[in-house]
Structure 1
Amino acid sequence: MGSAASTEAVQKEVAAKNVEEIAAALKELPADQLSKIKEAVTAGAAATPCPGPVDCSKVKVVAKDYKGLMEQPKEPKFKGALCQIFVRSQPYGGSDKSNNGHRYDSVPFANGMITSGMSCQLIHYTHEEHDAFFDMCKAFNFIIVRCNPGQIKADGGDQQKFDDSMRTLRKAGIQIWPSPDVMEKMGAKDALCKVATMNIGLEDTLAYYSTEEFVTGFKKTMAFQPRVIKQNRGSSGEGIWIIKLKDGNYCKEYGERSCEDGEKLSLMEANDNHEEEHTVAEFIEFCVSGRSDKSGEWTSKGVGKYLEGGKAAGGQLVDQRFCPRIVEGELRYNLIVDSLIGIIHKKPKEGGISAVGGTGSTYTYYGPEEKLFESLTTNFLKKDLPHVMPALDLAEEPVPLWWTTDFINSSPEGTKPEDEKWIVGEFNCSCVGISRCLAAYCKDDTPSASFDDISEEDKAEAKKYGDLMGEKALAILSK
C-alpha cells in the first residue's frame, strides 16, 4: 500500500516538473511560433465530437470541426440541439453547407442559445441510426430543426418517419422549432384560406383538394376576374400561375357565369416568368393529370399533377384573386418569433410578375421601423399575429423561432399608404436562411467556404439575430 502511495507521489512530482519545464520553454518561443501552437490546440479542442452536456457518442459524428461555436455553459438553463442533415450523395453535403459539414448559418443560431445561458449542440441526423439518434434526443429540452425540405429523402431517409419521431418528442414536452405540424400547416398554401378574414387575407381565397372542387370552383372564379393558382408542393415559384382570360370577357358579378372548356387562357409561371397559352380544359388537365394527349404542349419545367395523392398527401390548389400591383413587388417580413427584424422589397424585372431569385429582380432592404410600411407592420404584429397560430390549428405551438411572411399590395393605385391593404402571399418557416452568412456555404467557385469567410460586419449582424432568438427561446421555454 505504502509503495503504491510512494509511486503516485513520484508520478505527481514528475508531472509537475514537466509542466514547469514546458511552461518555461513556451516563454522562450517567438510570438509567431507560440501563435501557431495556440491555433493547433484550439483546433484540437474544436474537433471534440459534439461538445456539450448531452452525450452524443452513440451516433456518428459528421462534422469535421465546430469552428465559431462558443463554449457550452457548464450548468445550462436548458439543454438544446440544432439538428442538421448532411446529404452524402450531393457535392459539399448539399447546397447549404460549409466545408466542415454544418449548415452555413448554424453557428449564430447555436451561439444565440448559448449567450442566453442555454446549451446548444450541433448534431446531424443519419437515417441508418434513426433509433439511436432519437433516443439521444430525449435528453434535450429543445431541438432546432434545420433540415431543408427534401434533404432527408435525398440522403436516403424517410421524411415521414423523421417527422413522426419529432412529433413523439413534442408530445413528450420537448420543444421542437419548428415542429412538423407547424412546418406543414404554415407552409401549406391553404394557410391563405385560414387567414382570409383577417386584415392580411382576401376573403375570396379558395382551396381545392379534389378534381371536382377544382373544375367547378376555378371555372367560376376565372370567369369573374384574373386569378393566381398556387400548387402546394412547389418551391421558388414553380407551379404558381398568374392567369387571365385572353379575350378579357369577365362577368360583372361573381357566379354570373362559368368558363367554357374551350376559352383561351394567358398564363405566366412565377418561377421564371415564362408565358404560355392554353384552353381552360388543357390547364385543368395539366393540373390534374400532368402532360397528356388532352393537355397540349407545355414549356413549363414542372410536371403538373398538383392534386396527386389527395389532401392527406399534400395535394391541393389555392385559388386567389390576382392583385395587379404585384408588378410593383412584394414585401418579405423577416421575423424572430413576434419581433420584426427587417423588411425586403422584392421588385420583379420589368415585364415580369415574380420576384423569385434568379429572375433579374431587384431587392431593397429596410429596417423594421420603416415609415413607408408602418400601417402594415402595426396591423400585422399587433392585430393579426396573435390570431395566426390558432387560425392555422396551431394554438398549442409558439410562433416559429425564425420565419418570414410575404405580402402583396391588393389596394387600387392611388390609395394612401396608411390605407393600403397588404395580403399574405405565403408563410415560410421550414428552413429560412440567414443571408448575412451566405459567404460560408460551399459552391463550385468557393469549395472550401467556412465561418471564417463571413465578414466581421455580417458576423456581428448574424450575432444580433442569434442573440434575439436565444432571448425569445429562453422566454418561451421558461413558461
Structure 2
Amino acid sequence: MDKKVIFFEVEGGTDKGPDGYRPDTMPMVEALKQRGQDAEVLFFDITKKQEIFHYVKEHGIAYVSRINPGNLQHEDEYFAMLRELCQAGVIGMPHPDAMISYGSKDVLSKLTTTNLVPDDTFAYYTIEAFKTQFPTSLALTERVLKQNRGSTGEGIWRVKLVEPLAEGITEVPLDTQIKCTEAKDNHVEYWQLGDFMTFCEQYITGTNGMLIDMRFLPRITEGEIRLFMLRDHPVHVVHKKPAATEDAFSATLFSGAQYRYDKPEDWQELVQNFLKQLPQVTNLLGNYDLPLIWTADFMLDTNEAGEDCYILGEMNCSCVGFTSELALAHEVAEEILACIKEHTEAIA
C-alpha cells in the first residue's frame, strides 16, 4: 500500500481561504501528487483524536503540521498525538518538541553561547527572577521585553528611561519614569518602573508563561531580515522595514512596515554565518530534525570593531505561511520527498 503525506489543519480561523483550507496547503498537496506522492488534508478534532491517530498511523508515511497555534484550542492533546505518531514511525514535519523548541521565544536565551544572540539576553520564568534582574538590565541599556504568547507584536515592549540615571547607579529605582512602546502598533505609554513590572507579571504566569529581556537594537529602523528556510537551506529573504515614525520599531505589516523579497545571495554574509552555526543551534535546541518550513529573524547591529553583525530576534516554525509566494509549494514538495527518502534509507 502506498502511504500518504498527511497535512494537519484545524477548522476555522482567519488564516483560511474560501475553500476552508489555508491558501498554502492545497498547492503543497497538488505539488506532491504531481510528483507521484499521494497526500491529503485532515482537520484535527479533539473528539476524533484516536480515530485520526489510527488512520494516520496506518495510512501516513509523514505528517506536515499546518495549524496556526492561535487557532488551536487543544494544543497539548494535539502535540501528544503527534509524539505518538512519531514514536509509531510516522515522519514528523516537524516533531512537536522541535516546534516547541524552535518556536518558543526562550530560544534566544538558549543560544547566547553562539554569536547570534548577545550574552546579556535573559529569560524570566518566575516573577522573582524578573524583579531581581530587570532593573539591573535596564540600568545598562534600553531593553526589549517579549512575551512568549501572543503574535503580531502584542506584548513586545521597548522600554527606555525617560531621564538618564545618575552616574554609578547600577539598578533602576522602582519609582523611575519609563517610556514603553508596544510593537503591536508602536503606541507609547509612560509608567513608573514598578507599576510596569507588575503589569508584565501577566506574561509570566499561566501555561508557557515567560518573558525574554534583550537589549534594544537601534538599527531595527533599518529593517528586520527574515530568512525563510526549508530545513537546512534558505529559500528567500524578506526585508521588513518599520514605518518611518519616531517610535516605530515593529516590523509587522499591521504596524505599517514595508516588505521586500530578496534572494539569499543578496545576504551572503548573514546566510553563511547562520548556516555555519546551524549544527550548534540544532544541538542546543534538543537535536531534533530541522523543521520543514521555518524562519529566523535578524536585526542589524554593530560589533566592537565597528562592523555590521546580525542578531537573532526570533524563530518561527509552528505554521509559517507563504501565501504570497505559492510557487514555493513545488520546492516544499521536493523537500518533503527528500526527507522521506532520507528516513527510508536510514531505516533500511
Q: Shorter-normalised TM-score: what interval?
A: over 0.9
3-state SS of paired residue (2:113): coil
Q: Which has the higher strand share?
A: 2
Q: Measure, in 2, the Cα distance between the counterparts of 1:250 and 1:398.
A: 50
Could you list the per-position Cα deviations for residues 17-69 of structure 1 after superposition, in whole angstroms to 9, with x for gaps in the alignment? Answer: xxxxxxxxxxxxxxxxxxxxxxxxxxxxxxxxxxxx6xxxxxxxxxxxxxxxx
Q: How does 1:74-223 map to 2 (within 5 A)?
A: 76=2, 79-87=4-12, 94-139=13-58, 140-153=60-73, 158-223=74-139
State the number of aligned residues.
342
Query: Displacement, 1:413?
Result: 11
- Give ranges in structure 1 of 5+ residues lacking alignment: 1-52, 54-75, 88-93, 289-304, 438-457
Does the Cα contact within 8 Å between 2:68 and 2:319 map onto a contact in 1? yes
Could you list the per-position Cα deviations for residues 119-167 of structure 1 after superposition, in whole angstroms to 9, with x for gaps in the alignment? Answer: 22222222222211111111112111111113231xxxx2211211111
Query: Displacement, 1:463?
Result: 3.9
Equivalent residue number for residue 355 of structure 1: 251
Q: How does 1:194-273 map to 2 (within 5 A)?
A: 194-249=110-165, 257-273=170-186
Say which of 455, 461, 464 aligns to 2:330. Answer: 464
Equivalent residue number for residue 279 of structure 1: 192
Q: Measure, in 2, the Cα distance between the counterparts of 1:412 and 1:276.
A: 31
TM-score, normalised to structure 2's length?
0.92
Could you list the per-position Cα deviations for residues 287-311 of structure 1 after superposition, in whole angstroms to 9, with x for gaps in the alignment? Answer: 11xxxxxxxxxxxxxxxx00112xx
3-state SS of paired residue (1:340): strand
Q: Measure, in 1, the Cα distance between the counterparts of 2:166 and 2:94.
A: 43
Query: Displacement, 1:113?
Result: 3.5
Question: Given the superposition, is the C-alpha separation of residues 465 and 159 from structure 1 closer, same or farther in structure 2, using an over 3 Å criterion?
Answer: same
**1:387 and 2:280 correspond:** yes
Say which of 216, 219, 232 aligns to 1:322. Answer: 216
3-state SS of paired residue (1:410): strand
TM-score, normalised to structure 1's length?
0.68
Say which of 339, 343, 346 aligns to 1:477. Answer: 343
Q: Measure, in 1, the Cα distance between the counterparts of 2:335 and 2:167.
A: 50
Query: Displacement, 1:477?
Result: 2.5
3-state SS of paired residue (2:179): strand
Does the Cα contact within 8 Å between 2:144 and 2:156 map onto a contact in 1? yes
Structure with the greater alpha carbon radius of gyration: 1
Equivalent residue number for residue 22 of structure 1: none
Could you list the per-position Cα deviations for residues 383-435 of structure 1 after superposition, in whole angstroms to 9, with x for gaps in the alignment? Answer: 11122122112x1x2111011110011216994xxx42101100000111113
Could you list the per-position Cα deviations for residues 223-269 of structure 1 after superposition, in whole angstroms to 9, with x for gaps in the alignment? Answer: 111111111112111111111111022767xxx62111101111111
Equivalent residue number for residue 403 of structure 1: 294
**Identity, % of aligned pairs?**
34
Q: Which amino acid aligns with 1:431?
A: C
Q: How does 1:35-54 map to 2 (within 5 A)?
A: none
- Give ranges in structure 2 of 5+ residues lacking alignment: none
Equivalent residue number for residue 367 of structure 1: 263
Q: Measure, in 1, the Cα distance between the counterparts of 2:304 and 2:184.
A: 26
Say which of 240, 247, 254 aligns to 1:346. Answer: 240
Q: Measure, in 1, the Cα distance between the counterparts of 2:342 and 2:184.
A: 37
3-state SS of paired residue (1:427): strand
Q: Measure, in 1, the Cα distance between the counterparts of 2:263 and 2:128.
A: 46
3-state SS of paired residue (2:298): strand
Does the Cα contact within 8 Å between 1:110 and 1:466 map onto a contact in 2? no
3-state SS of paired residue (2:69): coil
Say which of 264, 267, 271 aligns to 1:377. Answer: 271
Decide which moves more: 277-286 or 134-143: 134-143
Does the Cα contact within 8 Å between 2:297 and 2:314 map onto a contact in 1? yes
Q: Measure, in 2, the Cα distance between the counterparts of 1:152 and 1:239.
A: 20
Q: Measure, in 2, the Cα distance between the counterparts of 1:198 and 1:322.
A: 19
